[in-house]
Amino acid sequence: SPPAAVSQVTVRDALNQALDEELERDDRVFLLGEEVAQYDGAYKISRGLWKKYGDKRVIDTPISEMGFAGIAVGAAMVWLRPVCEFMTFNFSMQAIDQVINSAAKTCYMSAGSIAVPIVFRGPNGASAGVAAQHSQCFAAWYGHCPGLKVVSPWSAEDAKGLLKASIRDDNPVVMLESELLYGVPFEMSEQAQSKEFVIPIGKAKIEREGTHVTLVSHSRPVGHCMEAAAVLSKEGVECEVINLRTIRPMDIETVEASVVKTNHLVTVEGGWPQFGVGAEICARIMEGPAFNYLDAPAVRVTGADVPMPYAKILEDNCIPQVKDIVFAVKKALNI
């Protein structure tokens, strides 16, 4: 049979496709947030959707995260399916009470009688030149909280499949996108572009097979891991690169199986080191069956433990680079 058609799709277009398809599929789905309607979205993720679906389905809100997140959570409790966009996840701090106390805990506190099928989405982590209040990763913050699901896509396929799965899920989902990936094109298979394509929440993906060391990452740093793996391959070191895709529930089984094979572990993330995603992975490996297969201590590559500086040269040094991953792998392998 001929190979399936593959085309290049940006993360922005993949997200737009997912929103369009889910708005069309289920009339309970609606999008709300700052600039999402008439302006076509601050990052043009919702381009064309207001024109197509109108004021009831794509709603511009005032600059009041606590207010519109609260409206969205209330709507979800009466079985609508809101997609609540934060212009960046830094601004979700204004609404963290709604996300955690209202959305995440209600199903449990109502003994399962009230579901909250809501998606909180928007850019997360470092952008470029926007300083400390716009540059932090919230994967560890939201991954910490029971009652939430947390997804963190890398490729266009991740973005589309995870957003569709999140909208269809009956639980509150936090979807952490990367602004720096929005314009990046990825190969997308014909299957991934079908209307029924979803990626199961809670399942990691092995992006590259390898035998010497396991690299585990999420969001934009997955790309850095792939680049580092290509560099190291020239030196005879074969990295297995795991794209977590989901932060909570975490697919630790895929990581364990890889560590059993490679005997070495390096975690890579843009967030801060203390209580981070990498810290959690290391602890889970330590506590589980794969610990006995480690030939060396696990190594974490993280963002610098500082509020993000504004100056470009300092910002570059605060975000994990390919050279940092290569260094960490050599440290883990003692070469």
Write down the catalytic residue from 22, 34, 65, 256.
65
d(CA 242, CA 234): 20
- Active-site residue, 212 included: no
Instruction: Tokens for 315, please give them.
Output: 């910002």
Q: Cα–Cα distances in Å, from 32 out to 57, 85, 197, 304?
A: 8, 6, 24, 33
d(CA 219, CA 320): 12
Locate all alpha helices (DSSP H) within the chain, ordered by sequence: 11-25, 49-53, 65-77, 96-97, 105-109, 139-143, 156-168, 221-233, 252-262, 277-287, 312-318, 322-333
Laid out side by side, the sheet with 149-151 consists of 58-60, 29-33, 81-85, 119-123, 173-177, 149-151, 246-248
Write down the catalytic residue from 134, 218, 224, 264.
134
Helix (H, G, I), strand (E, B) or coil at 243: strand
Cα angle at 172 between 167 and 173, to 5 degrees? 65
Laid out side by side, the sheet with 265-268 consists of 205-208, 239-243, 213-217, 265-268, 299-301
- Active-site residue, 264 included: no
Q: Cα–Cα distances in Å, from 189 out to 60, 194, 282?
A: 33, 9, 33
d(CA 229, CA 271): 21
Which residues are marked as active site? 65, 134
